Amino acid sequence: MASPSKPAAGRLGRVLVNHLGFPCSAGKEVIVRGEHDGFIVQDMGIVTTAVMGAHEDFQPIMTGALRRVESPFGVFSVGDFSSLTAPGIYRVVLPGTGEHSYQFAVTDGAFSWLPAMFLGFMHNWRSGRFENAWRGPSHLDDARRTDNGVEVDVVGGWYDAGDLRKWMVHSNLPALAMMDAHERLPWQYTEWERVDKGWSPWLLEARWGLDFMLKMQDPATGMFYEDVAGGGSARFRKGMSWWCENHAGCYADNTENHFTDNVPGSGDERPLRVQYNPLGQFTSVAILARAAGAYAELDPARALGFGNAAERGWRLGLAPDAVNAAGTADDFEMWTSVRAWRTLAALELHRCGRLPWADVDRGARELLGNFDPRLGFWVNRTGGAEPYRGILHSAQPLIALAQVALAADGALREEIEGVLRRCLEAYVMPLSALSPFGILPFGLYREPASKGDLYRPWRDGYLLRFFMPVHHVQRINHGLGGHWSSWAHALALAGRLLGDPRCTELAWRQLHWLLGCNTHNSCLVSGAGYNNPMPHSRFLGTYPGGFCNGFNGSADDQPLLDLEGNAQWNSVEYWVTPLSNTLMALALLNPPRSDASRKLGWRPGSPKG
């Protein structure tokens, strides 16, 4: 499902810099398509052309050399201007051609306003009894069980994307990210006032999703339902599976993707899928257990409910009813993706006093057991040979283990650190070096998974693709914003755990790719940066803070992005997964509160522009 894709042209087409900018002490690169010798950085605050009617030009403040880089995406020239640390608004220019980048900021607050934009977007993406000037209440009649037709109140939550579905695997990830933001981001970054002592808009908004999660747990069993209105099976063809690349719902159609009359019992209620999803189960346990701690002092009764639900969900996840596991292989407990979320769920249950550390230790060691030292990464399942890949949980094994290590000591921490270092040296660093953008490819393959798609050779007989294959029987060539943002979160955690600045720098580069420093010079967040795609958002429209799901790939493994307004779902649909992962990454990466010398603003002695 390829989408139209034309890189930006003209004076702005070839000089690529992250659109939002850089913290003062961060690494800074310019990437230019083609071969060029050097570049100039201009200070936009100082005008050098004063002739009426002429194009304004700006003060050059530094020059730099460009080095040629051959890559799978073509020839590029790369330059470093990390020595520029003074706050300001700048652009990069190619001498002689007039080509230049978009302007960008250097300030410790370069990314400080993005979390608040994400929060505003999620507030508007509510389902249920919510109304503002933009939209009214919706789906007040969700939903009707698929097993017995009984109506169940699952009104609320957030829509997961540019459509109207609610999936338990990823629709509630914003709640986890909001709790991270509440705990780790200096409050001054959002410039929103606290509502009351201890509360913040982060916790107030997260509560909307958390309360919905309680409704989505079967009171009779503790199982979390899989989705509301996830879709029917009209897309199904021979050879397709409900699961593909650790992602469920992969042949679901759009038959349930619509507004309703909001009247329960009228006949147009959407379905509530009563089906066991191991990732949805343990993701939900991890989020609710985290909330049990986050709300313990502020709202003890609600926190108790979160903790009880998490504990019931944990018990069910360890012994699910096979009747509800249709569409899930019976060996799911061996999947690396499930082990990663189960380990994180155990850690959060331990933190809120509901599981002993022995359960965390056991989960971590089972996850470590799926690590292949020669590969330098995880295999997809215990005893398997196929490398682990994920559309949205791409780096979840690293995320889970890094968080366990940060809470552990002694032998377990040492073992985890050793595995993560091996992963960095054998897998992450070599693969990220394959392109000048530093992005992690989608993954490795033991053999081609489709015919007619390019698979690039790598070491030890492995093959790789930067993007999902086009001609796979599943026909789900998904944009990978969730993949790169998952890696940003994982690398930020690894950098903190290991004290390795390479991890932190590489985490930023995954975000830079999504926020403008990419082959199409496009920022994938509506209202941020420049050259935003028109999103696939068919019901609630374009809204600031919406995060498009990102580049998908061509058969020859080149990046594709719909910049022609065709609303191609696979590259420009809004999706809360990259939003959530990016927020969790920024909660770790954003610098602490800085003094005025590291922010934009007039400084004594500055020349007048």
- Backbone region of residue 2 per phi and psi (left: phi > 0; alpha: psi in -120 to 50; beta: other values): beta
CA atoms of 507 and 485, how far apart (whole Å): 8
CATH of the domain at 560: 1.50.10.10
505-524 pLDDT, tens digit per residue, is 999 999 999 999 999 999 99
Find out whether 408 and 495 touch, Cβ atoms under 8 Å: no
* Residue 104 and residue 130 in one domain: no
* Residue 153 and residue 271 in one domain: yes
pLDDT value, residue 1: 38
pLDDT of 53 > 90? The answer is no
* Domain presence at residue 403: yes
Give residue 98's domain range. Answer: 21-110
Give the pTM.
0.96
Number of domains in the chain: 2
217-274 pLDDT, tens digit per residue, is 999 999 999 999 999 998 899 999 999 999 999 999 989 999 999 999 999 999 999 9
pLDDT value, residue 594: 79
* Domain presence at residue 3: no
CATH of the domain at 85: 2.60.40.10
Tokens of 260: 């309703």
* Residue 105 and residue 118 in one domain: no
pLDDT value, residue 9: 45
* Residue 104 and residue 119 in one domain: no
* Domain presence at residue 15: no
547-574 pLDDT, tens digit per residue, is 999 999 999 999 999 999 999 999 999 9
* Residue 421 and residue 343 in one domain: yes
pLDDT value, residue 592: 75
* Residue 434 and residue 388 in one domain: yes
* Residue 444 and residue 563 in one domain: yes
* Domain presence at residue 241: yes
* Domain presence at residue 381: yes
Q: Fill in the amino acid letter for 388.
A: Y
* Residue 31 and residue 178 in one domain: no
* Residue 102 and residue 119 in one domain: no
* Domain presence at residue 16: no
* Residue 177 and residue 223 in one domain: yes
Reported residue count of the chain is 609
What is residue 228's DSSP assignment?
E
pLDDT of 5 > 70? The answer is no
168-224 pLDDT, tens digit per residue, is 999 999 999 999 999 988 655 555 555 567 788 899 999 999 999 999 999 999 999
How would DSSP label each residue in 348-396? HHHHTTSS-HHHHHHHHHHHHTTEETTTTEEBSBTT--SBP--SS-TTH
* Domain presence at residue 526: yes
377-415 pLDDT, tens digit per residue, is 999 999 999 999 999 999 999 999 999 999 999 999 999
Q: 357-368 vs 410-423: helix axis angle to the nearest 10?
A: 30
Name the pLDDT band for 166 (thresholds 50, 70, 90): very high
Name the pLDDT band for 535 (thresholds 50, 70, 90): very high
CA atoms of 98 and 87, how far apart (whole Å): 24
* Residue 292 and residue 427 in one domain: yes
Average pLDDT, the chain: 93
Q: Fill in the amino acid letter for 518.
A: N
pLDDT value, residue 13: 77
pLDDT value, residue 212: 98
* Domain presence at residue 4: no
* Residue 369 and residue 516 in one domain: yes
**Widest Cα–Cα separation across the chain:** 78
- Would you call 588 helix, strand, or coil by DSSP? helix
β-partners of residue 436 are: none
CA atoms of 243 and 220, how far apart (whole Å): 26
